[in-house]
Amino acid sequence: MKLTHVLYTPTVSFNLISIGRIDDASYFATFGRGQCAINDPSGGLVGVVPKISLWDLHIHMGHIAPKAVRDLVRCGIIVGVELIDVDEDLECEACILA
C-alpha cells in the first residue's frame, strides 16, 4: 500500500487514519470487537486500529482540553479513532497543577 499526502509526526504515539483515503485506495475497513481492521483489495490484513479512551487521547495530544478532544473526533478532524468513554469527565492532575 502506498500512502500519499501523509504527515510524519514522530512525537505523536498513535495513528490518525482517514477511512475515506483507505476507501479511495480500494482498501476496506471493518469495525467490530473494539477495533478497526484494515484489509487490502485481496482481503489480506494490513493493520488493526483499536479504540482509545478519552484519557489516553487527551494525554497523547499534549493534554488538550477533553472537550476539544471530543469535538475533534465528533467533527471528523481526528479520524480513525473511536472514543470508548466519550461522556466521562476527566480530572487530569497534571492539567490542574499547570
pLDDT in tens, the chain (98 residues): 666 777 777 676 666 677 888 889 899 988 877 778 899 999 999 888 777 778 888 888 889 888 888 888 888 787 767 777 666 777 889 888 88
Of the candidates 84, 54, 50, 79, which has an alpha carbon nearest to the alpha carbon of residue 69? 54
Residue 8 lies in a domain: no
Q: How many domains does the chain have?
A: 2
Same domain, 92 and 65: yes
Residue 45: the pLDDT is: 92
Same domain, 45 and 77: no
Residue 7 lies in a domain: no
Same domain, 33 and 68: no
Residue 6: the pLDDT is: 72
Same domain, 78 and 96: yes
58, 92 Cβ separation under 8 angstroms: yes
Residue 26: the pLDDT is: 93
Residue 98: the pLDDT is: 82
H helix or E strand, kind and range, residue 30: strand 28-32
Same domain, 66 and 44: no
Same domain, 56 and 83: yes
Residue 59: the pLDDT is: 86
Q: Please state whether the predicted TM-score (pTM) of the whole model is above 0.75.
A: no
Of the candidates 51, 52, 23, which has an alpha carbon nearest to the alpha carbon of residue 39? 23
Residue 87 lies in a domain: yes
Q: Quote the domain boundaries for residue 55.
A: 51-98
54, 85 Cβ separation under 8 angstroms: yes
Residue 40: the pLDDT is: 93
